[in-house]
Each structure stands twice: as C-alpha cells, then as structure tokens.
Amino acid sequence: MALSPDVLNAILNGPALDPPKGVTPNFHSHDSLAIYILPTVLVGLSISTVFLILRIYTKYFIIRSVSLEDYITILAWVMLVGFGVPCWYCVRVGGRHQWDTSVRDSIDLLYYANIVQILYGPTMFTVKLSILLQYMRIFVPRREGNTAMFVLIHIVLWADLAFYTVDTLLEIFSCNPRALNWNKLIDHGSCFNIEVLIISAGAINVVSDCVMLFLPMFSIWRLQLSTKKKAQISAVFACGLLACVSSVIRLAYSILLFKTEDRTYAFIPTGLWSVAEVSIGFICSCLPVVPKFFQVMSERLTTNKSSTTPSRSYYRSFDAQKSGASNNPGNPYDSRRALARGDEPFEGLELTEGVGSRHIDIRAGSRRPSGADEEGRILKTVSVEVNELWMG
C-alpha cells in the first residue's frame, strides 16, 4: 500500500535507526567520521597524480619508451578519480551514527556507497593489470626465458579478471529492483545475501594482493647480484605490502560493518581503506620507474650540465660478477663489462634465471676490416651481456 505524502515525509525526515536507550537523535551531531573522507581522498589522489607525472615523464622523456602498461596506468588514474568522486559526496550525508542521520540522508549515503562498491572492482583490476603487465615486461620479456613466471603471471591476471568481473556484476544486480540496494522503503523485490558477497570478495582480494606482492621476489632473488642489491630492488616492489595491509584492514572493517545496525557510521572506515588500498596499488604501479627519474636528475645536478646531459641514453661499465674468469665464454655471469643502460630497459631481455642476460648486437659500420675485398665483406658481431636489473 502506497504511503501518503505526509506520512512518507515524516518517515524520510525521521531517524534512520532507533537510538540507544538514553540517546536523543541529533541530525547536527559533530560525532562524525565525515571529516576524514575528504583528506583521505585528496591525499590519495594527489600522491597518485604526482607518481603518474613522474612515471610518464620518465618513460616519455628519459627512457623514451612508452609501453602498453603506461596507457593502462593512465586509465587506472582516470578510474581512481572516478572512484573518489562518490566517496567525496559521502561527506555531506555520511559519517554520523545512523540514529543521527535521517532516512532521507541514509538513502543518499547508501546510493553513493553502492556506486563505490561497483567502481571498486574495475578500478582495482585496472591498477593490478598495469602492475602485472609491468611484471611481464621486466621479468618475462620472452616466454622461454622464465616459463614458470610467465604462467604464474597469466594465472593471476586471468583469475583477477574473472573475479572482479563476477564481483562487479553481482554488486550491480544484487537486488531486484536495483533501488532496493539503497532504499529500504521499497516494499517489493528481493536481494541476495550481500554480506556474504562483500566479505568473500574482500578475502579473495587479500589473497590476490599477497600473491602479487611475492610474485617478483622469486625472480629477484635468483639474480646474480649482491644481497644488498637484491634487497634494494625488493624494497621497490615491497610497496605492495602496504596494499596488502590496507586490504586486510578493509576486510576487517567489512566484517564489522555487517555486525552492527549502525551502517552509516561503520561504512566510512571501509570506504576510507578502499581508497587507501587503490591509491597505494596505483603508487606501486608507478614506483619501479621513479628511481630512474631521481638518478638522472641527480646526475644532471651533480655535473651542472642539465642543459647538455643526454636524456636518452648514457653508458656505464660494471662487473657482472667480481669473481670468475673473463675469458670463459661459457660463464654468462663472468666479469665482462657491460654497456648501454637505460634507453629501453628490459626490451629484449633473455631470462634464463629470473632476469638474466641482455644480448646486444653491435655491428660494424662503414669501416671494412683489412684484407676484405669488395665482394667478401665481413660483418663483425659483438655480443654484450648485461646482468643488471633496471626497472622502467
């Protein structure tokens, strides 16, 4: 039976939940978590934007090699902005205890909360796709070099795609009609158990984050590098640990959310940690490129030749391994000197053990070797092996 306008207005303007004994509803209460929403969203977006700029500048102007994952990262940033917009709208109506929130405002809050839940999956997957494609280019540029890593990355990628697709569709169609997600005054229709969906999705997301954290470590610690260097490289990828922590805390708050009737208050921490997780994941996708930017800038400042220092490539010699005979052609990790670093990092790497050797052909140009006639020209090929890991 339809409610009369006067009755409906009275319900909409009343408290969304009966207050605890001895508590009087106060729609202007200052006991609100809304004050944390805007700073969290702004900090997350600001830091993510800075890292995006550093990444794009480094890849385009320094390395001069833009890859598919760079475009995916830009898309992830756009989706991150879109994810933050409904969170920002929650500032107006969210954060207060449910008995201090009118039914009208609680409907608005649940509406924006549903949008946040729907956008979370596609945004998180886009961020993870950027990271996984970067793993692929760094650690498995050629499938035959590291088949196990190739298979693992693809398993995680396709599992994430399936999971986030199903999760997003379930979030969209969890109620029929859809408005029942946020308007509990509707007296017809049905919803399946959204509690099971959100908690299960949160648990799977934690597993996915942890797997992605440890994926690069298997290859890094097989490199023929010093323990200190391995630790430094691992530290760059260990940024993912913060994303794992955020997803665990988000899961904990999701569980608490469904153990209380005070949803308008309990929802905010879940949303805040969702923003933190997505933002940290985005920063992690940009972080491997950032050291290159600061190294180049530092070298330019040190030499005071910022106007003449070449940004495309520069050269450095290093020992692949201090021990081992340099005249042993069978040892891929001997003390040969390596050239050519930085211009197209990891393109063409052959990974026999994690990240291994890079073969570069240096061909003779216009000069002919002595003793060569016009028809019997000699082409000299020199194979240089680079055994240094460089992110970018």
Structural domain for 16, as ranges: 11-293
Whether 316 maps to a domain, the answer reads: no
In a domain, 340, yes or no: no
C-alpha closest to that of 279 among 33, 36, 37, 42: 42
Q: Is residue 354 part of a domain?
A: no
Residue 323 forms part of a structural domain: no
pLDDT in tens, 96-137: 899 999 999 999 988 998 999 999 999 999 999 999 999 988
Q: Classify residue 322: in a domain, yes or no.
A: no
Strands across the sheet with 349-350, in order? 349-350, 357-363, 381-386
CATH (domain of 136): 1.20.1070
Segment 31-57 mean pLDDT: 92
Q: What is the pTM of this model?
A: 0.74
Instruction: Report, as an integer, the average pLDDT of 319-336.
Output: 40
C-alpha span between 162 and 208 (Å, rounded): 12
The pLDDT tens digits of the residues spanning 200-240 come to 888 999 999 999 988 888 778 777 778 888 888 888 787 88
Q: What is the pLDDT of residue 307?
A: 53
**Residue 334 is assigned to a structural domain of this protein:** no
Q: In terms of C-beta distances under 8 Å and separation of at least 24 residues, what long-range contacts does 136-139 make, across chains too?
A: 137/67, 137/69, 137/346, 137/347, 138/216, 138/288, 138/346, 138/355, 138/389, 138/391, 139/216, 139/219, 139/351, 139/354, 139/355
The answer to whether residue 311 sits within a structural domain is no
Report pLDDT for 197: 83
Each residue of 258-286: pLDDT tens digit? 888 888 888 889 989 999 999 999 999 99
Listed ranges 41-50, 316-325, 378-387; the one with the highest mean pLDDT: 41-50
* Model pLDDT, residue 367: 43
Q: How far apart are CA 190 and CA 181, in angstroms?
A: 10
Question: pLDDT grade, residue 305 (50/70/90)?
Answer: low
**What does the alpha-carbon distance between residue 12 and residue 24 come to, in Å, rounded to a whole number?**
17
**pLDDT above 50 for 296:** yes
What tokens does 260 get? 């209380």
Q: How far apart are CA 287 and CA 241, in angstroms?
A: 13
Q: d(Cα 45, Cα 39) in Å, to the nearest integer?
A: 10
How many structural domains compose the chain? 1
Q: Please report the pLDDT score of residue 161 as a whole number.
A: 95
The pLDDT-based confidence of 374 (bands split at 50, 70, 90) is very low
Residue 347: is its pLDDT beyond 70? no
Alpha helices in 102-180 (DSSP H): 103-139, 147-172
Upstream peptide bond of 332 is cis (omega within 30 degrees of 0): no
Is 199 part of a structural domain of the chain?
Answer: yes
Assign residue 13 a region: left if phi > 0, alpha if psi is -120 to 50, beta otherwise? alpha
Q: How far is it, in rounded angstroms, from Cα 151 to Cα 268?
A: 38
> Cα(200)–Cα(389) distance, rounded to whole angstroms?
38
Question: What whole-number distance in Å separates Cα of residue 93 and Cα of residue 104?
Answer: 9
